[in-house]
Structure 1
Amino acid sequence: MHRPTLSGRRAVAVGAAAALTLLAGCSNSSGGNGGTASATPTLTGDCAPFQAYAGHSGTTVTMFASILSPESDALERSWAKFSSCTGIKISYVGSNDFESQLPVRVTGGNAPDLAIIPQPGLLAQMVKTGKVVKPPAQTVANESKWAPIWKSYGSVDGTFYAAPMSANMKSLVWYSPKAFAAAGYQVPTTWADLMALSDKIAKSGKNKPWCGGIGSGTATGWPATDWVEEVVLGKYGGDVYDQWISHQVKFSDPQIIDSMNVVQNWMHNPAWVNGGFGDVSSIASTTFQDAGTPILTGKCSMLQQASFYEAQWPKGTTVGPNGDIWAFKLPAVNPSIPTPVEGGGEFVAAFSSRPEVQAVQNYLSTSEWATSRIKQAPGWVSANQGVDPSIYTDPIDQLSAKYLTDPSATFRFDASDLMVAAIGSGQEWKSFTAWFAQNQSVQKTAADIDAAWPQ
């Protein structure tokens, strides 16, 4: 979001509650009544497509997530017509402390009606509270538009609880095509080439090859987990990756220690980082949202970050193969691994079964809503197969969709999002932050995480 997030874990400003203006530019044969309708009105004109969700005018559905402005602005626009036509007000709150606050709210009796959860591990934790409500039949039926693996990510112990909402590609490296062309650099296609390019940039003395930031409120540390996950998947493949998620392969086992050492030599290298911000430790104090900005001023050359990072570039930044900013696929550490792709996503879980809540759930699980969201702003991709690929006009979204739907790719969901919440959105973030902030050793970092794994 880590989202994610997208996830979690996404966007720049402090989250705030927002409410949508209702019943504007929409007509129905019964008229508004200022409260829950006694009979379902007939929606006409451009509101007619929302007829299935009518009958709940004057109601409010609360939603809580980690998505902050500017991403949340586009999110709210995506359901504005739905709210206007149905009269269902969606009161959205985004928080940088979502992962820690959601359990507090749920166990404290103050659960939102809906939560957008970027970590299946956190979803499992919420299901164990007994407060998550199973989705309505229409939401379940709408899942036929998603690949079965996505439905499994929204399930706990084989029971489906949360519909997929978004997908994102994490295996990208952002850079400036103009700066590369001016310096005569070629986009690397192998890990060896990437490391050689990093060394070349560092030795030029003009800037640092890499910039980075792992700050994200109470979710601080999650970008560092992505770096290790990319290496584990790209060096050891899907089987080791899957065993790592379930702790069959421990953090202190050779494959993970080796992968962490690869990251140590990459993002802990004082000659290579942290362009525009400071030394290695500055990575811990730099927010992930700000991390890429030195690319625009020539203080660093590259940032490893997900597709949803596109929303963070300043207004007016041209994103494209010949633009101010572009991205390339992070190469596999081991060339024998076929197209390793790490992705993330978000899932909509309900804590209420009120009819208006189910209406919102149903709408958000449709390809029609996904299409509306895609049209609002770049940097958002859906794995909903009912979405017409031609509506992706943004080149990064097109690039992401290409890899996320590649049947030959070695695709895996973000590992920390799949791990038990006490680790994936807890001790791992804490320990990885100490790894960068305090130059804690790889061995101690791994041992601390293993020791915290629930028995």
Structure 2
Amino acid sequence: MKRFVAILSTLIILGMILASCAPVATPAAPAPAAAGNALDDAFAGKMKGKVVTMAGPFTDNDAVKFDDSIKSFEEKTGIDIQYSGSKEFEASIGIAIEGDNPPDIVDFPQPGLLESFVKKGKVIDLSTFMDMKKLQANYIQSWIDMGTMQGPKGKILAGIWGRVNGKSAVWYPKKAFDEAGYKVPKTWDELMALTKQIKDDGDTPWCVGIESGAATGWPATDWMEELMLRTTSLENYDKWVKGELKFSSPEVKKAAEVMSDLWFTEGNVYGGRKAIATTAFGDSPKPMFENPPKCWLHKQGNFITTFFPEDSKAGVDYDFFYLPGIDPKYGSPVLVAGDIYAMFNDRPETRAVIEYFATGASVEGWVKAGGAISPHKDSKLEWYTNDVDRGIAKMIMD
């Protein structure tokens, strides 16, 4: 009975999370901008003194790294990019759009939220002014496909990808992990054996936290997506994402059962099941770095390293391994995510900024600082300053 309640609770929580992505009101239609190569004009100094407003989820260290990554562009062009980050982004952006006062560019961490605006005809079609040949030369087609969405009058290029993350990673405190004699698991059974081994040693295996302000719960959605990809077909996964496969279906219930067994089994998660919903996602891995670690395993995208202690070193204090597959017939899937930039106000300077975000230079500083992976083909491997970030990039490419 307890197991049934745990699975049911998991399904209810996930249903509420997906429901929170419902469409919101639309802003007024943007005025058209003048034709021309906006980015070249910007670098020629023709837009000096212009301001481009942005909104998104970057706060704390992420906000600092983003600001640092765009400084060079601002200095060379004279364009001031004013980014407003909020932990309540999902709620605040709805209010801004409903009040007909959207920022020029919005940084969406959830393509589904962007898609709700696209369906209402709010988002500017980037293909109307961007050089599509250049875009296709600098991104693999799947990134362009994921930015292409259905609007009221057909498909549009709704956004371009900036920083991306490989989410199918399990982080661990490498030094303590090695000293304890633990081995990196290659299969799901080995991962479950490691979970039991850590518990048998008197410690807590997993660090889990899903609190994120108005967006609370998205890490749970990520977990569920990972497990759907590992326990059923891609066709069923796509149906589930589109709402065509019910949460009561055997396929979804199976994935939820795996998740609830891992999360809700006594002693598996630091702080117990009650702490999962109240622990901020950025704080949840921090107990790994205590001496001795209070928990040992944390599944999250590579951006999470931004929340690790500042003096921690990749490959020394922490490392990662790939979250293993469960059923061999579904292979070794990798869940990817990232920041997709969409345009709401069409002006030359706004076009220039969007065009800049479609280049590796826009994320170079962040890649070098750690915690970001570039989807751009013009990025350079030497930008990655440690083996961990290079390993994540390789995991995504493979």
- Give the aligned partner of residue 60 of structure 2: 69
User: Residue 47 of structure 2 contacts residue 77 of structure 2 at CA under 8 Å; is this kept in 1?
Assistant: yes
User: Residue 118 of structure 1 contacts residue 344 of structure 1 at CA under 8 Å; is this kept in 2?
Assistant: yes
* Structure 2 counterparts to residues 20-419 of structure 1, below 5 A: 52=43, 54-135=45-126, 137-138=129-130, 140-144=132-136, 145-157=138-150, 158-205=155-202, 207-274=203-270, 278-297=271-290, 298-320=293-315, 323-375=316-368, 377-406=369-398
User: Residue 103 of structure 1 contacts residue 126 of structure 1 at CA under 8 Å; is this kept in 2?
Assistant: no
- Summarize the Cα distance change of 1:372–1:316 in structure 2 as closer, same or farther, 3 Å threshold: closer
What SS does structure 2 have at the residue aligned with 1:270? coil
User: Residue 41 of structure 2 contacts residue 47 of structure 2 at CA under 8 Å; is this kept in 1?
Assistant: no
TM-superposed deviation, 1:168: 0.6
Aligned residues: 352
What SS does structure 2 have at the residue aligned with 1:156? strand
- Summarize the Cα distance change of 1:62–1:53 in structure 2 as closer, same or farther, 3 Å threshold: farther
- Inter-partner Cα distance in structure 2 for 1:396 and 1:227: 21
- Inter-partner Cα distance in structure 1 for 2:105 and 2:131: 14
Identity of aligned residues (%): 35
TM-superposed deviation, 1:58: 1.2
Q: Which amino acid aligns with 1:110?
A: N
Structure 2 unpaired stretches of 5+: 1-38
TM-superposed deviation, 1:118: 1.8
- Summarize the Cα distance change of 1:53–1:161 in structure 2 as closer, same or farther, 3 Å threshold: farther
What SS does structure 2 have at the residue aligned with 1:387? coil
Q: Which amino acid aligns with 1:184?
A: G
Deviations 1:383-442 (A, max 9, x none): 212212232222222111111111xxxxxxxxxxxxxxxxxxxxxxxxxxxxxxxxxxxx
- Inter-partner Cα distance in structure 2 for 1:383 and 1:373: 13
Q: Normalised by the size of structure 2, how large is the TM-score?
A: 0.84
TM-superposed deviation, 1:255: 0.9
User: Residue 310 of structure 1 contacts residue 379 of structure 1 at CA under 8 Å; is this kept in 2?
Assistant: yes
- Summarize the Cα distance change of 1:364–1:310 in structure 2 as closer, same or farther, 3 Å threshold: same
* Greater RCO, CA 8 A, separation 6+: 2
- Summarize the Cα distance change of 1:259–1:78 in structure 2 as closer, same or farther, 3 Å threshold: same
- Inter-partner Cα distance in structure 1 for 2:132 and 2:356: 12
The CA RMSD over aligned residues, in Å, is: 1.8
- Inter-partner Cα distance in structure 2 for 1:403 and 1:228: 20
- Inter-partner Cα distance in structure 2 for 1:372 and 1:292: 25
- Inter-partner Cα distance in structure 2 for 1:59 and 1:203: 61
Following TM superposition, the consecutive aligned residue runs of length 4 or more in structure 1 with deviations greater than 6 angstroms are: none
- Inter-partner Cα distance in structure 2 for 1:147 and 1:200: 41
User: Residue 201 of structure 1 contacts residue 209 of structure 1 at CA under 8 Å; is this kept in 2?
Assistant: yes
- Give the aligned partner of residue 430 of structure 1: none
- Inter-partner Cα distance in structure 2 for 1:81 and 1:170: 29
- Give the aligned partner of residue 448 of structure 1: none
Q: Which amino acid aligns with 2:330?
A: I
- Inter-partner Cα distance in structure 2 for 1:200 and 1:338: 26
- Inter-partner Cα distance in structure 2 for 1:139 and 1:272: 51
What SS does structure 2 have at the residue aligned with 1:265? helix
- Inter-partner Cα distance in structure 1 for 2:304 and 2:218: 14
TM-superposed deviation, 1:372: 4.0
Deviations 1:285-324 (A, max 9, x none): 000000001111111111111111111101101111xx11
- Summarize the Cα distance change of 1:160–1:348 in structure 2 as closer, same or farther, 3 Å threshold: same
TM-superposed deviation, 1:51: 5.8
TM-superposed deviation, 1:140: 3.8
What SS does structure 1 have at the residue aligned with 2:253? helix
Structure 1 unpaired stretches of 5+: 1-47, 407-455
Q: Which amino acid aligns with 1:351?
A: F
Q: Which amino acid aligns with 2:345?
A: S
Q: Which amino acid aligns with 2:264?
A: H
User: Residue 206 of structure 2 contacts residue 297 of structure 2 at CA under 8 Å; is this kept in 1?
Assistant: yes
